[in-house]
């Protein structure tokens, strides 16, 4: 900060010196331009009547030179750039003279009498003042701009004078408040925060019994579950000011700036008490402090130290509640989580089916709906969706309805929006050859058949060979209910289904025609098999032991990346067990598809004709006995489509 201030003063100083150096030079030039005639006063007492009498004629300068060369000029009076004189015949003349250094010698050679007259206006004094003022104006403008910009940045917390001020944003008091009515699907989290809201409304209820409200509340959970919205609802429910600031706003390249911003934030909060201070993504500043190896001084460590001091330095009875949110509670410093700082930790999980129904009803309040829309059915069809996913689903459905010119949002738009969120947008513009389409059809048909017939797999939802997102085709299964744990048979069924596509390509076209389309299937199957061996204890040879480091949750970004601290022998056994699980899953898929090659061919041909099939359509198609081969089954499928209400069997809209 001092360096910036010195550099600004230096710029102003250089401009001032340049201006002062320019003024004398300009004055000297003005003196030179003011008229060499002033310095040529040959006789102050000479008769200058020629300059005072009106001339008889005005001639050009070239004619004046010709007359001088012909000795037709008797005398002249020179004043600035004007020359007046008398010719030999007595006529008076005048002419305008440019700067000509040879004029005076020429007149003297022809014995012309020369008189120099002063101008009525002092050119030297007036020119110097004008040049000085003109030279000073840029300096005044630069200095004024610097002062104005620094004051403006200081008010907004930036610039040289405000770089240490907190960047907290206070929610406008005139804006509609967010309350618990706008939050749904996280009843347990609301209950945990209701006590804090009650304290902010009626603190005397707790103070009379000696109770103290928690100073801080830490909200943890997967992204999109409503942690920020819950904090705003808590402040809106209590009717107190709400300050919001990101954890990364405390981190700056200048030493001490983060700590100063922490002090400034708590000073603002104390002035506005009772209030709620929300720090989003607190892991940006609250990570484990370094050990100081090498004598370094981490600015983030100093900022965290100041945050710990401030949270210890104010009394909970002041009514300042610190609420923080993070997806990474495992990386936070233990000193930040101890009682007396963040006393209460609230987990905000993904909503269950009842919570999703409530969330959908909140987001559908301001959307005109068709009579066929049932939030309960849509909630059952969106397992695993977070609150942000459901809000995005409703918005996409509204956009699809508006794009088609509909007056209301129907179930068709909601289902199409769900497919877009789950599978990605359709890429119908992608040019695929007939062979590529056929390979994709067999690949997805293999996935679908294994998902249908392997015990323990989730029900088949939809199969499409229309490119969506980064995939050329998609086979999707949805659980019938919310799942909080998976059995071993279900994991093995998932691995078998992942290899159904690759095996189907091999059975249909041979080993030499297998494509790279199964690369992501192999990656996911390998990760799942490794976790079965190293985390879930599903290996008889290794037993129920954990061989992966850390206790990280998948939603924290650590899934599949854990290191193994084991011996070489154990690592070799782990690799063998992973290979065994993978090979068993592939063999299971190969046996099933080999026994059902007719159904594989039938389903692939149906996908080539219809592009998208739902799980119900596939089950209806494969339940028909083979009578006449492919054409008979596809004809029956087409007949079934005509008997089903419109929109039920259409391809998903993108």
Residues labelled catalytic: 444
Longest alpha-carbon distance in the chain: 137
- Distance, in Å, from the CA atom of 78 to the CA atom of 38, rounded to the nearest integer, reads 9
Task: Give CA separation, 377 vs 145, 372, 645, 649, in Å.
Answer: 62, 10, 18, 18
548 phi/psi in degrees, rounded to 5: -105, 145
Please give the Cα distance from 474 to 447 (Å, whole number): 9
| Cross-sheet strand order for the sheet of 460-464 | 474-477, 460-464, 612-614
Question: In the sheet where 73-79 sits, what is the strand order?
Answer: 57-58, 92-96, 82-87, 73-79, 113-116
Q: Output the CA–CA distances (angstroms, integers) from residue 183 to 180, 252, 356, 380, 498, in the order listed.
A: 5, 34, 11, 19, 38
Tokens describing residue 558:
């650590």
Q: In 3-state terms, what secondary structure has residue 279?
A: strand
Pairing relation of β-strands 216-220 and 320-326? parallel
Spatial CA neighbour of 248 closest among 203, 285, 199? 285
**354 token code pair:** 């009842």
Strands 242-246 and 275-280: parallel
Using alpha carbons, select from 536, 534, 516, 538 the residue that is nearest to residue 585: 538
Report the candidate in 305, 423, 411 with the shortest Cα–Cα distance to residue 360: 411
C-alpha span between 256 and 243 (Å, rounded): 22
Helix (H, G, I), strand (E, B) or coil at 414: helix
Instruction: Map tokens 């600031």 to a residue.
Output: 245
| Residue-wise DSSP of 457-506 | PPPEEEEE-S-BTTBS-EEEE--SS--S---HHHHHHHHHHHTHHHHHHH
- The number of CA neighbours under 13 Å toward the Cβ of 178 is 17
Q: What are phi and psi of 474, to 5 degrees?
A: -140, 135
CA dihedral angle for residue 470, residue 473, residue 475, residue 481, rounded to 10 degrees: 40
Dihedral of CA 503/504/509/513: which sign?
A: negative
Cα torsion angle, 83, 87, 92, 93, sign: negative
Residue 475 main-chain phi, psi, to 5 deg: -120, 120
The C-alpha atoms of residue 271 and residue 281 are separated, in whole angstroms, by: 24
- 276 near 319, Cβ under 8 Å? no
Residue among 394, 156, 169, 361 at smallest CA distance from 276: 169
Where residue 401 falls (left for φ over 0; alpha for ψ -120 to 50; beta otherwise) is: alpha
From CA 135, how far away is CA 16, in angstroms rounded?
Answer: 10
């Amino acid at each position: 900060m001092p360096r910036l201030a010195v550099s600004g003063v230096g710029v102003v100083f250089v401009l001032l010196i340049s201006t002062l150096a320019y003024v004398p030079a300009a004055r000297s030039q003005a003196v030179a331009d003011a008229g060499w005639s002033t310095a040529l006063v040959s006789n102050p007492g000479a008769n200058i009547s020629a300059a005072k009498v009106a001339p008889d004629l005005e001639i050009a300068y070239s004619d004046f030179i010709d007359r001088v060369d012909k000795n037709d000029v008797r005398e002249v009076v020179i004043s600035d750039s004007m020359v007046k004189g008398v010719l030999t015949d007595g006529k008076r003349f005048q002419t305008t003279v440019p700067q000509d250094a040879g004029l005076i010698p020429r007149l003297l050679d022809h014995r012309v009498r020369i008189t120099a007259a002063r101008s009525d206006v002092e050119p030297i004094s007036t020119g110097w003042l004008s040049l000085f003022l003109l030279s000073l104006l840029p300096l005044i403008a630069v200095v004024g701009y610097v002062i104005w910009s620094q004051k403006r940045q200081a008010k907004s917390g930036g610039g040289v004078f405000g770089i240490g001020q907190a960047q907290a944003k206070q929610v406008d008091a005139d804006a509609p408040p967010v309350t618990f009515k706008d939050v749904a699907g996280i009843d347990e989290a609301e209950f945990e925060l209701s006590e804090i809201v009650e304290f902010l409304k009626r603190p005397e209820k707790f103070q009379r019994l000696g109770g103290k409200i928690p100073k801080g509340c830490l909200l943890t959970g997967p992204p999109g579950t409503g942690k920020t919205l819950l904090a705003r609802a808590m402040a809106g429910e209590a009717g107190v000011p709400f300050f919001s600031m990101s954890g990364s706003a405390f981190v700056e390249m200048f030493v001490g700036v983060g700590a100063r911003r922490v002090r400034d934030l708590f000073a603002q909060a104390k002035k506005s008490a009772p209030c709620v201070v929300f720090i989003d993504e607190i892991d940006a500043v609250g990570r484990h402090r370094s050990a100081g190896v090498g004598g370094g001084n981490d600015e983030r460590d100093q900022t965290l130290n100041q945050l710990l001091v401030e949270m210890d330095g104010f009394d909970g009875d002041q009514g300042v509640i610190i609420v923080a949110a993070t997806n990474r509670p495992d990386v936070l410093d233990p000193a930040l989580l101890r009682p007396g700082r963040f006393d209460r930790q609230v987990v905000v999980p993904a909503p269950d089916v009842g919570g999703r129904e409530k969330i959908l009803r909140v987001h559908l309040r301001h959307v005109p709906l068709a009579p066929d829309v049932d939030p309960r059915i849509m909630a059952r069809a969106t397992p695993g969706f977070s609150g942000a996913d459901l809000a995005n689903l409703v918005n996409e459905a509204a956009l699809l309805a508006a794009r088609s010119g509909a007056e209301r949002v129907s179930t068709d738009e909601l289902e199409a929006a769900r497919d877009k969120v789950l599978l990605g947008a359709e890429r119908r513009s992608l040019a695929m050859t007939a062979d590529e389409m056929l390979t994709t059809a067999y690949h997805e048909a293999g996935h679908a058949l294994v998902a249908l017939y392997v015990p323990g797999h989730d029900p088949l939802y939809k199969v499409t060979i229309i490119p969506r997102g980064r995939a050329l085709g998609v086979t999707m299964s949805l659980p019938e209910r919310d799942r909080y744990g998976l059995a071993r048979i279900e994991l093995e069924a998932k691995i078998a289904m992942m290899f159904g596509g690759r095996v189907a390509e091999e059975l249909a076209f041979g080993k030499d025609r297998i494509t790279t389309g199964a690369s992501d299937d192999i990656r996911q199957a390998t990760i799942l098999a490794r976790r079965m061996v190293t985390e879930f204890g599903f290996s008889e040879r290794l037993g129920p032991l954990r061989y992966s480091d850390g206790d990280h949750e998948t939603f924290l970004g650590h899934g599949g990346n854990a290191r193994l601290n084991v011996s070489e022998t154990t690592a070799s056994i782990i690799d063998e067990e992973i290979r065994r699980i993978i090979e068993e899953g592939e063999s299971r898929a190969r046996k099933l598809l080999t026994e059902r090659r007719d159904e594989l061919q039938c389903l692939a041909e149906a996908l080539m004709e219809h592009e998208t099939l739902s799980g119900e359509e596939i089950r209806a198609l494969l339940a028909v006995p083979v009578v006449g081969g492919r054409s008979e089954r596809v004809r029956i499928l087409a007949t079934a489509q005509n008997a089903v209400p419109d929109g039920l069997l259409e391809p998903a809209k993108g």
